[in-house]
Amino acid sequence: MKRVVLDTNIVISSALGGALVLILERWNDGKFTVIVTSDILSEYFEVLNRPKFRLKQETIDKIARYLYQFSEFVATEERIQFVEADPKDDKFLEAAIAGKVDFIVSGDSHLLDLKEFRSIPVISGREFINWLESNE
């Protein structure tokens, strides 16, 4: 089974609906494993709770339960300082290395511009959906 790190913007976009909701559906179907760290979960929840997204507490709680129940937690083994334009993005690279992932899925240009990191492809949500659909 493929292992992936989902950037926060992918989780938020999926929670808000639209095309990226397919990512959550495929995750729910067991098509891949999501790798997280405590730093990544903290960011997910901080952003999910922002008033501008107007997510119901019930929706946030459902996502939280799912993340805790069906994500694989890893401890970062090394500190990475690679994304100069946005050092907060380094935590996704750290998780990817520690979790030996197949993809980093992001909508963030700082990560997407890398194309890959230590041979791990960095792809958009749409590219990941296309990959999922072609491998069903």
Quick one: pLDDT at residue 23?
Answer: 92
Instruction: Report the mean per-residue pLDDT for the chain.
Output: 94
Quick one: pLDDT at residue 108?
Answer: 95
Query: How confident is the model over 26-66, as pLDDT tens digits?
Result: 998 999 999 999 999 999 999 999 999 999 999 899 889 88
- Superfamily of the domain at 2-134: 5'-nuclease (3.40.50.1010)
Quick one: pLDDT at residue 7?
Answer: 97
Comparing CA positions, the residue from 111, 29, 33 lying closest to residue 67 is 33
**Mean pLDDT, rounded, for 93-111:** 97
Enter the pTM of the model.
0.94
